[in-house]
Every structure is written in structure tokens, then in C-alpha cells.
Chains A and B, each alone.
Chain A
Amino acid sequence: MALTLPALCLFVLFIFYPFLRSFGLAFFESTLFNPDPVWVGLQNFHDLIQDPTFHRTWTTTLIYVLVTTLLTVMLGFFWALILNQAFTGRTIVRTVTILPWILPSTVTAFLWAWIFNGQFGLLNAVLKGAGVIDQAIIWLATPSGAFVAVVIAKVWLSTPVAMSFILAGLQSVSSEEVDAAMMDGCGAGSIIRHVIVPHIFPTLVIVFVLQAMANLQQIDTILAMTRGGPARATTVLSIEVYQKAFQEWNMGLASAIGVAWFFTIAIPAAVYLHSVFKRV
């Protein structure tokens, strides 16, 4: 027991206590001018439920998390399949693919903001070159464009991690099963569907859940790229909480949004924690 004490003390001080206090703050009113909290009971939650802009934030978050997570897991899966095949230079490609994940998130944000830039961005140039568009799209200025930009940045950032988890899962697929399927005349496609997917489905679930949680926590790239704009198109819960708390200094309402956010994360997290504690 004594061994866990140091970690426990710091955990209580810097994680658990702030967490509880933040939750508590949701029942208070604390603003810029009178920062010491005043009890308001469920007033904050009441306001939230009726606030249409909050509903929109909530739906934007759900869409953002679902789209990003699905794309990441799918890309990660196919990329893992490819890297599982032997080809010349595979080791180099394997080391290089981890790069996007290790770049600081602000760098990733700048990178993609520059690619999506209206006048001089690479994307517009490529699309124009390919004749897909004739007039430059100012991505980060249009609601849907900004959303696409933010999603692609996060997918690009987290695909390598998903890939490595799935690749590890692939190692446990016994080659006998694949050989057997080959003997039965299966092509690559049906092997993937009938042998590989069923085998690593648990890993896929874990990766999906982990990515969903990471995407729900996500704030850095959005904060650096669009700061929740334009017209709240990329305002996810994390951005809303940050702006309410540290720009409008409305701590009470920010905590209330935090509570709602916590219960959205709790769903995928419950799946993950269940699988984690099945094995303890």
C-alpha cells in the first residue's frame, strides 16, 4: 500500500480534488466581477438545456467525434493491413508513419491551417490544378470547410496510433488460419472479412473507444486552427468550456458544460474501463 502513496497523494491533489471542485462549481455562479461562488442550484443546467447554441455545440461535438474516430480507425485498419504485408523498405515506412503523432499539436494545427489557406494553400492549388474547383475555396472561413479542415487534421494526427494498435492486434492472427482460408480459395478481400476482422474485432473496439475518448478531450488543434469559428461551426464542448471559463470568466456555467461533457465521455470510457478491469 505504501508504494502507491506518492502517486495517490498527487492524484488526489491535482486530479481528484480539482475534478470534484469543478463538478461542485456547476451549482454556483462565479463571474469576472464576483469570482467567489454564489449558490444557484440547478440554474446553470436549466440555462444550458434551453440554450439552442449549447445544443448545437453538443451536436457538433458528437458529429466531430464520430466522424474523426470512424475515419481514424478505418484508415488505421487499412494502413495496418498494408504494413503487415512484406514489402521492400517496410521498416523505413513503419518508422516514418509515427511522425504525425509525435509532432506538437500546435505544429499540426499550423500545418493544416496553411494547407487549407484560402489564397495560397496547397489544397486549393491541387484542386484547381485537377480542375475540381475553378475558384479558390476559403476553407477556414466557411463553416463546413473549417469543420472538414479540423477533422482531417485530427485524423492525420491520430491515424498512426490507431495503426500501431491494430498492427499489434494483427500479429496475434495466426498465419495457419490465413493459410487455411487460402487453401479454400479465398482472395485477399474475403480473407480480410472472414478471418482477420473477426479475429481482431476486440482490438478494433478498444482502438475505437480510446480514439473516441481522445477526440472528446481534443482541444489543441481546434483552438490553434479555428478557435471554434467560424460562427461556432467548430465549437466543440472542450472549446466552449475553455472560452466560457477563460475568456468570459463565467466559471459556473463552464463547469456545468463540463458536467454534460463528462457524461458524454463516460459512455465510451465505460466500455474501455470495463474491458480493462475484466483483466485485473
Chain B
Amino acid sequence: MLPVQHRHETWVFRGLLTIFVFFLLMPILWMLSTSFKAPEEVFLKVPTIIPEEPTLRNYMRALTETRILTYLYNGLIVSMTNAALTTVLAALAAYGFAKFRFKGRKSLMFLMISAQMFPYAVLLISLYPFMQRTGLFDTRSGLILAYLVFAMPASIYILFSYIVNLPDELIEAARMDGADEWLILRELILPLLTPGLITVFLYSFMWSWNDLLYSLTLISSETKRTVGPGLLLTFLGEMEQDWGAAMAGSVIVSLPIILAFTFLQRFFVQGLTAGAVK
């Protein structure tokens, strides 16, 4: 959109473009290249960008000697269920807030949305004994419920702004056609809300997939550990110097989310920004 007339401006533009792409992609490429290097090549004074003799040793080591796959499996289960739960709860709450004028609506909504600013680590201090008393400690379902704090407030707001922007006349037309509230929700609101729902699903999936703090504290047995703490505890201590295996583990853990994103990319960014910026 900006005018790019003179020669030097095109050069400046192209220069900036390459610098940015380099800054964003280089770390990922470096991770990939290190993950294929044998230990001797990893610990070279002058590092090689493209591995001279690539080997799958690191991947084999990460897959067999560590529990990366269990962490991946746990991470996926916890994140998917949390995302689904958050999406359903947020959709119901947002619809309730948007379409029904009940007493205390505004203050309740303010409270739920402002939860975004509660410091998570402080919440954990009380969540931890609470989980123990309720037997939810060291359980995946406990973690799923604890993760609600991350995404639900924002999700309610994103869906709320989606629903509020649905023209009232649509709902009145449906009422004229004889649809009751549930039918309106199912046949009209939810289908129109799908882009928002996908955004919120991805947003909450992202937050739980990315977490390190809550899972590190609320899960103590190895078999239930998720991605963050799994990686940290595997590549801390004795294996800390084995950067090849650490990078291989990181690649394995990042693959599912990267694949998911290449398909759902369109929904996610546009939905997130539409919701928040509106």
C-alpha cells in the first residue's frame, strides 16, 4: 500500500524483508540442523550450518531413551480436552452475556474477563493445595481444569464480540419463524460462530500446549507429564549438555502443532484479531 517509487526504497524494503525473515526463521532452521548433527559436529568451535554428515542418532536417542512420546501424548490429550471444554464454556457464557439482560450481567462479565490479569503463579499457590484436597493433584483432568484460567477469560470476550456483532434481526427473524432458544442457538448462532469457535479452540489449545509452570507443579508422576516439563526435566541435569538430543526432542514435540497450524492458519489470525481489535 505504501508507495515504493525510487530505486533505493525498493532496496530498503527488500533488505528489511530478508532481515526479518532471517530473524524469525534462523532459530528454527538452526534447531533443525543441530537435531541432525552427531555429537562431534555439534560441539565444534566453528559451527556448521548444514550438517556435514547428518544422522538420526539424536532422534533415535530422544525417542527411545526419553519419554518424549509420552509427554507428546499427554500434552495432546490435555490440550485438546481443555480447548474443547474452554470453547463450549466460553460459547455458552458469551451467548448468555450477549443476548440476555440479567441483573449483574456487566459486573460478572467484567470479573470473568479481568481474570486475564491474575498472576498465574500466584493462583498456583492456592490451586496446588486445593487440587490435593480434591484429589485432582497429579491427574490430567486436574490440569485441564486448572488450564481454564489461561484461555477462558479471553475466549469469552472474543466470542462475546462475535455474537454481539450478529444482527439482532437475524435472531428475530428466527423467532418469527418459530424457532425456540435452543434451536436458534443450534441452527443459527453456532453455525455463524464457527470461525470464532475455531479461533477460541486454537487459542486455548495454544495456551495449554505452551504451559510449563502449571504442569511442572501440578503433575508429579512422569507418566502424566506434558510437553513443557517433560522437555525441561529430560534435558536438565546430566543430559543437559546433549544439545543434539534436546533439539531433536524439541522438533518432535513441535511437529504436531506446526502441522495443525498450516491448515488452520487462516481462521486463527483473522479470528483473533477480529475479536480483540473490534
Complex contact flag A–B (Cβ < 8 Å): yes
- Which residues of A are in contact with B by a Cβ distance under 8 Å? 1-4, 6-8, 10-11, 13-19, 21-23, 25, 75, 78-79, 81-82, 84-85, 87, 93, 95-107, 110-112, 114-115, 117, 119-122, 125, 156, 159-160, 164-165, 167-170, 173, 175, 178, 182, 186-188, 191-192, 203, 206, 210, 213, 216-217, 219-220, 223-224, 237-238, 241-242, 245-246, 251, 254-255, 258-259, 261-262, 265-266, 269, 272-273, 276-277, 279-280
Whether the pair A7, B152 counts as a contact (CB closer than 8 A) is yes
Q: Please report the C-alpha to C-alpha distance between residue A101 and residue B28 in the assembled complex, in whole angstroms.
A: 12
Whether the pair A14, B274 counts as a contact (CB closer than 8 A) is no
Whether the pair A258, B130 counts as a contact (CB closer than 8 A) is no
Other contacts beyond A7-B92, A75-B20, A110-B231: 13, CB < 8 A? A3-B95, A3-B100, A10-B152, A16-B115, A21-B126, A102-B254, A102-B257, A112-B27, A122-B30, A168-B277, A217-B119, A254-B125, A261-B119
Q: Does B253 contact A (CB under 8 A)?
A: yes
Q: Please report the C-alpha to C-alpha distance between residue A223 and residue B120 in the assembled complex, in whole angstroms.
A: 14
- A contact residues around B110 at 8 Å (CB): 273, 277
Whether the pair A115, B119 counts as a contact (CB closer than 8 A) is no
Q: Which of A87, A95, A115, A242 has the most CB of B within 10 A?
A: A242
Whether the pair A99, B258 counts as a contact (CB closer than 8 A) is yes
The distance from the CB of A251 to the nearest CB of chain B, in whole angstroms, is: 6
Whether the pair A120, B45 counts as a contact (CB closer than 8 A) is yes
Whether the pair A223, B213 counts as a contact (CB closer than 8 A) is yes
Report the nearest B residue to A241, measured CB to CB: B121
Given contacts A10-B145, A79-B20, A168-B274, contact A255 B125 (CB under 8 A): yes
Report the nearest A residue to B209, measured CB to CB: A104
The distance from the CB of B203 to the nearest CB of chain A, in whole angstroms, is: 11
Q: Does B97 contact A (CB under 8 A)?
A: yes
Report the nearest B residue to A217, measured CB to CB: B120
Q: Please report the C-alpha to C-alpha distance between residue A95 and residue B112 in the assembled complex, in whole angstroms.
A: 32
Q: Does B176 contact A (CB under 8 A)?
A: no
Q: Does B55 contact A (CB under 8 A)?
A: no
Q: Does B261 contact A (CB under 8 A)?
A: yes
Report the nearest A residue to B217, measured CB to CB: A246
Interface 9-mer from B57-65, B167-175, B265-273: B265-273
The distance from the CB of A28 to the nearest CB of chain B, in whole angstroms, is: 11
Q: Please report the C-alpha to C-alpha distance between residue A265 and residue B4 in the assembled complex, in whole angstroms.
A: 41
Given contacts A4-B96, A15-B123, A203-B277, contact A178 B212 (CB under 8 A): no
Q: Please report the C-alpha to C-alpha distance between residue A52 and residue B53 in the assembled complex, in whole angstroms.
A: 52
Whether the pair B23, A156 counts as a contact (CB closer than 8 A) is yes
Report the nearest B residue to A246, measured CB to CB: B217
For window 38-59 of B, CB contacts with A under 8 Å fall at: 42-47
Report the nearest B residue to A19, measured CB to CB: B118
Whether the pair A84, B1 counts as a contact (CB closer than 8 A) is yes
Q: Please report the C-alpha to C-alpha distance between residue A79 and residue B1 in the assembled complex, in whole angstroms.
A: 14
Whether the pair B117, A269 counts as a contact (CB closer than 8 A) is yes
Given contacts A84-B1, A156-B23, A168-B274, contact A111 B30 (CB under 8 A): yes
Whether the pair A15, B118 counts as a contact (CB closer than 8 A) is yes
A-B pairs with beta carbons under 8 Å apart, 8 shown: A8-B108, A15-B123, A84-B2, A99-B261, A106-B231, A223-B213, A223-B232, A245-B125
- B contact residues around A178 at 8 Å (CB): 1-3
Whether the pair A6, B125 counts as a contact (CB closer than 8 A) is no
Q: Please report the C-alpha to C-alpha distance between residue A23 and residue B119 in the assembled complex, in whole angstroms.
A: 11
The distance from the CB of A125 to the nearest CB of chain B, in whole angstroms, is: 5
Question: 6 tightest CB-CB pairs across the interface, nearest first?
Answer: A258-B122, A168-B273, A3-B96, A269-B117, A7-B93, A18-B126
Q: Please report the C-alpha to C-alpha distance between residue A119 and residue B45 in the assembled complex, in whole angstroms.
A: 7
Q: Does B278 contact A (CB under 8 A)?
A: yes
Among B93, B247, B270, B273, the residue within 8 A (CB) of A110 is B247
Whether the pair A242, B17 counts as a contact (CB closer than 8 A) is no
Whether the pair A120, B43 counts as a contact (CB closer than 8 A) is yes
Whether the pair A103, B126 counts as a contact (CB closer than 8 A) is no
Whether the pair B114, A269 counts as a contact (CB closer than 8 A) is yes
Q: Please report the C-alpha to C-alpha distance between residue A238 and residue B120 in the assembled complex, in whole angstroms.
A: 8
- A contact residues around B197 at 8 Å (CB): none
Whether the pair A19, B126 counts as a contact (CB closer than 8 A) is yes
Whether the pair B92, A6 counts as a contact (CB closer than 8 A) is yes
Q: Please report the C-alpha to C-alpha distance between residue A168 and residue B254 in the assembled complex, in whole angstroms.
A: 27
- B contact residues around A269 at 8 Å (CB): 114, 116-117
The distance from the CB of B230 to the nearest CB of chain A, in whole angstroms, is: 8
Q: Does B166 contact A (CB under 8 A)?
A: no
- B contact residues around A277 at 8 Å (CB): 106, 110
Whether the pair A115, B148 counts as a contact (CB closer than 8 A) is no
The distance from the CB of B1 to the nearest CB of chain A, in whole angstroms, is: 6
Q: Please report the C-alpha to C-alpha distance between residue A75 and residue B28 in the assembled complex, in whole angstroms.
A: 19
Q: Which of A104, A119, A167, A216 has the most CB of B within 10 A?
A: A104
- B contact residues around A251 at 8 Å (CB): 125
Report the nearest B residue to A227, measured CB to CB: B236
- B contact residues around A224 at 8 Å (CB): 212, 228, 231-232
